[in-house]
């Protein structure tokens, strides 16, 4: 009886995977898109901020991060090229931690809340989830995969 209940419980949770991935992609994809759009719309301020952090090639990197966030967010929203699209986002968020939130990394084990409260955290976690689990069933990637499977049959 317990095994039957456990099997039903696990099956029910498995059914929630696709909607969960969709909600994460839509919410954080939109946030990332909006953040990138904001950076690109106010690039002089971003360049100034990057200069204050002593980031080399501040102008180039400000545009690069803005475009990465803008396009990465858009691709996450659509679930298009998701696993590849999140790689530059993961790199950008890692660099953000290393430059703007280094104290959060240093305190990862002594004050984990500091790490989780840093601005890059939700984008990094979302990107890692999509990289590992994929975009889910409700995505353009899934439609493309189904199309190519049909073509091969």
CB atoms within 10 A of CB 88: 17
Distance between terminal CA atoms of the chain? 42
pTM: 0.91
Whether residue 36 contacts residue 29, with contact meaning beta carbons closer than 8 Å, is answered with no
- Tell me the mean pLDDT in the region 120-142: 97
Question: How does residue 152 score in pLDDT terms, banded at 50, 70 and 90?
Answer: confident
Residue 137 DSSP label: S
- Tell me the mean pLDDT in the region 96-116: 94
Instruction: Determine the pLDDT at residue 123.
Output: 97
**In the chain, what are the domain boundaries?**
19-152
Question: How does residue 149 score in pLDDT terms, banded at 50, 70 and 90?
Answer: confident
């Amino acid at each position: 009886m317990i095994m039957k209940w456990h099997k039903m419980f696990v099956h029910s949770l498995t059914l929630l995977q696709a909607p969960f991935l969709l909600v994460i992609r839509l919410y954080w994809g939109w946030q990332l898109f909006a953040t990138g759009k904001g950076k690109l719309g106010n690039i002089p301020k971003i360049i100034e901020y990057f200069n204050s952090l002593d980031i080399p090639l501040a102008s180039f990197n400000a545009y690069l991060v803005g475009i990465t966030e803008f396009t990465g967010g858009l691709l996450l929203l659509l679930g298009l090229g998701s696993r590849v699209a999140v790689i530059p986002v993961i790199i950008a968020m890692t660099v953000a931690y290393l430059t703007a939130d280094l104290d959060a990394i240093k305190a990862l084990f002594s004050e984990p809340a500091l790490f989780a409260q840093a601005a890059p955290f939700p984008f990094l976690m979302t990107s890692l989830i999509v990289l590992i689990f994929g975009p889910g069933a409700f995505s353009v990637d899934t439609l493309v995969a189904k199309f190519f499977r049909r073509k091969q049959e």
